[in-house]
Amino acid sequence: METLTYRTLDGSLAALPPEEAEALAAGIRGGVITPADVDYEDARRVWNGMVDRHPALIARCLGSQDVRHAIDFARDHRMLVSVRGGGHHIAGNAVAEGGLVVDLSALRGVRVDPQGRTARVGAGALLGDVDHETQAFGLATPLGINSTTGVAGLCLGGGFGWLTRQYGLTIDNLVSADIVTADGQLHVVSASQEPELFWALRGGGGNFGVVTSFEFRLHPVGPQVHAGLVVYPFAQAQEVLRAWRDFSAGAPRELSVWTVLRQAPPLPFLPESIHGQPVVVFALVYSGALAEGERLAARVLEFGEPAGSMLGVQPYAGFQTAFDPLLTPGARNYWKSHNFQAVSDALIDTVIRGAEALPGPECEVFIAQLGGAAGEVAVADTAYAGRDANFVMNVHGRWQEAAEDDRVREWARGVFHDTTPFATGGGYVNFLTEDESARVDSAYGQNYARLQKVKRQYDPDNLFRLNQNIAPAVLARTA
């Protein structure tokens, strides 16, 4: 192994002699990858193709002791460090340029206790891993909507999906977690063990350490649900979006209906004449009695005159993969997001204008329906502060060629700007891009100062800074 150059916490460069890199590798069961290794290129890639960073070392951790060793090494060398779970975050914080990546992607184990209705989930697990194991027993916990999303990042930022209205956010179902803090110590945290750190983990992101496993509460779901898509021509956008808004106000919490404005993909249930044309899509899941789901889904068909629909009884785990083909890794992605308490006529009109200017076939504006159980938890009960968000919008720029970077990002920023007057001022940290660090304090609102105190206690030197960063309180006073 040759002498490596790495980036320190203060941004300078330092040399790492071969014997020190070998000492790190000796304590990592999964091995350490360097730029000289044949699997380096694959190991440094993440979901967002815009992220092109070159770490000095990638530690493939197979357990908490590997993580402790890696964190001790990074701390002792004051080395820039990042943590990779599923590698799906839009900002690409999983990869430390010139630093050490603590790679948890091999920790994909899921152990279900069907009697206790809990699941122990490794920090490298993807949503599909969890659904595969829990649905074998007709159980689930609220996760996201894309089976390749990493559970760790989703949970630590809050986490919402089809089951959130009925059972709350992902963090509302977190029972305990194993975490390695900046001092290299392993903590098992829960509501009764180190409750302040447990509070901070539920929405505070990766600011406080490396979570190696999660214990989640499970609920009876499926395995069959009533779900599907209803697609309307874009010419009906104003009519159907207002109908959706009014229908959502009285919908039971077992039902989630999200809307997406985009160009129609070549779905088999749509006429070829509408492929590639702008449309309004409603995606829905009803997790209660199937007959009631059929009745409520039929109401979505009455919003206007659909161009096509695909509704019916299907496996919940299967519908969790429905959007995977539209979210494959490697494309270039840039997001802008807002939280809304309500969807007004003026907001609908503004969103429609933004969607009229879609810059490419993979770009979209989606609005997720929340509320229900997620809004019944007090803001101070978890670090996640967006409890007043009944809707979350994501302006999703997605494209293939670097030459389109500026054009697509400016479109996303324009829609974000135009919809700002309708927003709560908060934000969902899992949707914040690399250039939105100024929004972190507003995303946490009244919880931010408390989070800074927890950060000061567990990571006073801000070792874990490659995230939507919360500065330790002591640093905030001297900045």
Residue 175 CA to residue 180 CA, distance in Å, equals: 17
Residue 114 CA to residue 256 CA, distance in Å, equals: 26
**Token pair of 360 as six digits:** 């490419």
CATH topology of domain 4-103: 3.30.43
Q: Are 83 and 91 a contacting pair, CB within 8 Å?
A: no
Residue 161 CA to residue 429 CA, distance in Å, equals: 15
* Tally of CB atoms within 10 A around 219: 18
Angle made by CA atoms 30, 35, 37, in degrees to the nearest 5: 55
Residue keyed to tokens 């009764």: 192
At residue 77, φ and ψ (nearest 5 deg) are: -100, 0
**Token pair of 447 as six digits:** 């919880």
- Three-state DSSP at 91 gives coil
Q: Are 232 and 337 a contacting pair, CB within 8 Å?
A: no
Q: Within its chain, how far is the Cα of 456 from the centroid?
A: 25
Average pLDDT, rounded, for the chain: 96
**Token pair of 284 as six digits:** 């829905």
Whose CA is closest to 127, among 168, 86, 165?
A: 86
Residue 51 carries which side chain, given as an amino acid letter?
Answer: V
Right CATH for 110-220 from 1.10.645.10, 3.40.710.10, 3.30.465.10, 3.20.10.10: 3.30.465.10
**CA atoms within a 13 Å half-sphere pointing along the CA-CB vector of 294:** 7
Please give the pLDDT value at position 478: 43
Residue keyed to tokens 């270039």: 332
Whose CA is closest to 195, among 176, 223, 181, 173?
A: 176
Whose CA is closest to 263, among 279, 250, 247, 248?
A: 279
DSSP assignment of 103-123, as one string? E-TT---EEEETTTTEEEEET
Residue 476 CA to residue 442 CA, distance in Å, equals: 15
Angle made by CA atoms 125, 128, 133, in degrees to the nearest 5: 85
CATH topology of domain 224-437: Vanillyl-alcohol Oxidase; Chain A, domain 3 (3.40.462)
Please give the pLDDT value at position 437: 86
Residue keyed to tokens 């460090």: 81
At residue 32, φ and ψ (nearest 5 deg) are: -125, 130
Q: Are 61 and 28 a contacting pair, CB within 8 Å?
A: yes
* Tally of CB atoms within 10 A around 2: 10
Mean pLDDT by 10 residues, the chain (479 residues): 91 96 96 96 97 97 98 98 96 97 98 98 98 98 96 98 98 98 98 98 97 98 97 98 97 97 96 97 97 97 98 97 94 97 98 97 97 97 97 98 97 98 95 90 95 98 96 64
Residue 478 CA to residue 334 CA, distance in Å, equals: 33
Residue 213 CA to residue 121 CA, distance in Å, equals: 5
Residues whose CB falls within 8 Å of the CB of residue 31, separated by 6 or more in sequence, listed in order = 25, 60
Q: Are 189 and 197 a contacting pair, CB within 8 Å?
A: yes
Q: For the chain, which residues make up each domain, given as ranges?
A: 4-103, 110-220, 224-437
Q: Are 164 and 370 a contacting pair, CB within 8 Å?
A: yes
- Count of positions (residues) in the chain: 479
Residue 325 carries which side chain, given as an amino acid letter?
Answer: P
Please give the pLDDT value at position 477: 46
DSSP assignment of 279-348, as one string? EEEEEEEE-S-HHHHHHHHHHHTTSS--SEEEEEEEEHHHHTTTTGGGS-TTSEEEEEEEEES---HHHH
Angle made by CA atoms 287, 328, 111, in degrees to the nearest 5: 50
Taking CA atoms, 413 is separated from 304, 416, 420, in Å, by: 30, 5, 10
Strand order in the sheet with 32-33: 32-33, 57-60, 100-103, 81-84
Q: For 24-45, what is each residue's pLDDT tens digit?
A: 999 999 999 999 999 999 999 9
Residue keyed to tokens 């200017």: 357
pTM (2 d.p.):
0.96
Residue 173 carries which side chain, given as an amino acid letter?
Answer: N
* Tally of CB atoms within 10 A around 106: 16
Please give the pLDDT value at position 414: 98
Please give the pLDDT value at position 479: 42
Q: Are 297 and 311 a contacting pair, CB within 8 Å?
A: yes
